[in-house]
Amino acid sequence: MKKITFLILILIVNVSFAQTEKLENKVATDSFIEKYNNENYKAIYSMFSSNMQSSFPLEKNSRFLSNLKSEAGKIINRNFIKYNNGTSATYKTDFERGVFTLYISLDDELKINGLFIKPSIVNNLSNTNNILTKEQSEILFENAKLFPNQTQIALAIINNREVGFYGIKQNNYTVSSIENSSSLFEIGSISKVFTSTLLAGFVVDKKLKLKDDINDYLNFSIKDRIQITFKQLANHTSGLPRNPPNLNMKSDPTNPFKSYDETKLKYYLQEELNTNSDPGSKYQYSNLGAGILGYVLSKYSNSSYEKMLQNNIFGKYRMLSSTSIRKHLKNQLVIGLDKDGSEASNFDLSILVSAGGILSNVKDLARFILAQFDNLNEELELTRLKTFEINDSLDIGLGWHIFKSKSMNVWFGHSGGTGGYKSSIVFEPIHKNGIIILSNVSVYNSNHIVIDSLCFALMKTLESSITME
């Protein structure tokens, strides 16, 4: 069911009611429900005050109620709750396909002069294994209820190296706990961290240097032989635009990168490349830059991006379900949702796969974050070293963004998003804490940034517990 937002004109009436249902409201509400269930929308219109009829004409009223009936079904039960600000009667209303809150107010002539209907999200989260604190559970619910029906969120909480997994799903306006720690999601731009980790591995093995010019690793020269280093591609200071100018994002908005192949990338690099700023001088987030980084590393190693991932990262850190090739998935892929909550197309990143093409689950990603706490791991430590200062509160390493929290503990993080998914990771190596969130919330959903906010809010609860000790 798509997310429903219903709002009919509410006219405030300065009448004081007791907190028990009055007969006139009961009669009006029961009459409204009977007429609604029988699709007698014209009769409902006749119950409106003149102001309500003027503001909400018959055609608009009928269309609204018809859409409501189609989405939510008949009203099967209602319970009076209270009077809202002494003006409108509030009811918990059970529809066939969801629970809603219904507000009805009457004027002095007992005509309906205010009507408001909205979904009522039920909190059915359980915490039998004590994975979440009460505060964390409340934060999770308050954020999760903002998303469409069929939303899934998979969560890993790492507290002093101890990992707990928690999953939720919203179904028919009820947020419930589920087990989805092995379920797979598109992780979007978090893939850039893995691409930078591949680079760090080559550097630690002394096969190349961060300051090396990528021209020296290609069998062709980029336009005007503009000098761009590996580090500049990894920390978004290459000056390259966010996406290739010769990529038509509008040709297939549901899968915009699918047709962008090696031929188009090479043409851009040789014939069209133009930086927006001098390489190394300015931070400018670039999917194109991360895509080129993976492309150059593949050419240098004579290996596909997938093989590099499997041999150099996924195998090493036991990320056995992770892949950049959808047909190789071993576990269930959660269906992505578009901005309206309908099923979304998966993204195919083609030649730019290293910018955002990995699929993973919270179990695998937790193993990768736990590895970040190993002080002897040179390649992972290299990815976390500051390479550029973005502003007073944000630096960047190789892939990882570096945040300074109010307590001055350094957090590392990255988020990602595709047409059907949104993800976020934050961790702090000193106290070995971290939060990983994967979801099927679209990056085009108006509330997608809430996933990042949720990640940081949960991380703060871990930091607060440190402060209290």
User: Among 425, 451, 442, which residue's Cα sits nearest to residue 368?
Assistant: 425
Domain boundary among 75, 97, 120: 120
Lowest mean pLDDT among 112-126, 415-429, 433-447: 112-126
Q: What does the alpha-carbon distance between residue 61 and residue 41 come to, in Å, rounded to a whole number? A: 7
CB 120 within 8 A of CB 81: no
Domain co-membership, 98 together with 189: no
C-alpha neighbours within 13 Å on the C-beta side of residue 407: 16
Between CA 159 and CA 187 the distance in angstroms is 22
pLDDT for 329-387, tens place per residue?
A: 978 999 999 998 999 999 999 999 999 999 999 999 999 999 999 999 999 999 999 99
Among all chains, which residue has been given the structure tokens 């991006």? 305
Domain boundary among 63, 97, 120: 120
- The two tokens of residue 355 are 């910018």
* 364 and 258 assigned to the same domain: yes
Label residue 407 by pLDDT band (50, 70, 90).
low
pLDDT band with cut points at 50, 70 and 90 for residue 3: very low
Do the domain assignments include residue 58? yes
Question: Are residues 384 and 243 part of one domain?
Answer: yes
What are the CA-CA distances from residue 336 to residues 180, 185, 346, 404, 449 (Å)?
Answer: 14, 8, 7, 32, 16
Between CA 168 and CA 175 the distance in angstroms is 7
CA 66, 72, 73, 75 dihedral sign is negative
Give the chain's domain count: 2
The whole-angstrom separation of Cα 76 and Cα 103 is: 16
CATH number at residue 407: 3.40.710.10
Q: Bigger pLDDT: 250 or 406?
A: 250
Residue 189, domain member (yes or no):
yes
Q: Does some domain include residue 143?
A: no
- The one-letter code for the residue type at 369 is I
Residue 116 sits in the same domain as residue 189: no
Are 374 and 291 contained in the same domain?
A: yes
> Is residue 355, in this structure, part of any structural domain at all?
yes
Q: Read off the tokens for 118.
A: 């909205």
- Residue pLDDT, tens place only, 137-179: 999 999 998 898 899 999 999 999 999 999 999 987 789 999 9
3-state SS string over 304-316?
CHHHHHHHHHHCC
Query: 14 lies in a domain?
Result: no
Clarify whether residues 213 and 72 are in a common domain. Answer: no
**What is the C-alpha separation between 232 and 183, in angstroms, rounded?**
34
Q: Which residues span the domain enclosing 109? A: 23-120
Q: Classify residue 93: in a domain, yes or no.
A: yes
Distance of alpha carbon 199 from alpha carbon 205, whole angstroms: 10
CA 108, CA 85: separation in Å to the nearest integer? 17
Is residue 130 a part of any domain in this protein?
A: no
145 domain-assigned: no
**Domain final residue pick, 120, 146, 175:** 120
Q: Are residues 95 and 197 in the same domain?
A: no
Task: Provide the pairing of β-strand 152-159 with 162-171.
Answer: antiparallel
Q: Are 89 and 235 found together in one domain?
A: no
Give the integer Cα–Cα distance in Å for 394 and 405. 10
One domain, residues 195 and 103: no
**Residue 76 burial class via C-beta count within 10 angstroms: exposed 0-12, middle 13-18, buried 19 and up:** exposed
- Distance of alpha carbon 80 from alpha carbon 93, whole angstroms: 9
Provide the pLDDT for residue 111: 95
CA distance 4 to 67: 9
Residues 111 and 195 in one domain: no
Contact call for residues 157 and 426 (beta carbons, < 8 A): no
Residue 4: count of CB within 10 angstroms of its CB: 19
Look up tokens 């940081």; give the residue.
456
Do 436 and 358 lie in one domain? The reply is: yes
Confidence at residue 13, expressed as pLDDT on a 0 to 100 scale: 32
Q: What share of the chain is helix, strand, coil (3-state, %, to 5)?
A: 35, 25, 40
CA distance 353 to 188: 10
The count of other CB atoms within 10 Å of the CB of residue 202 is 20
111 and 220 assigned to the same domain: no
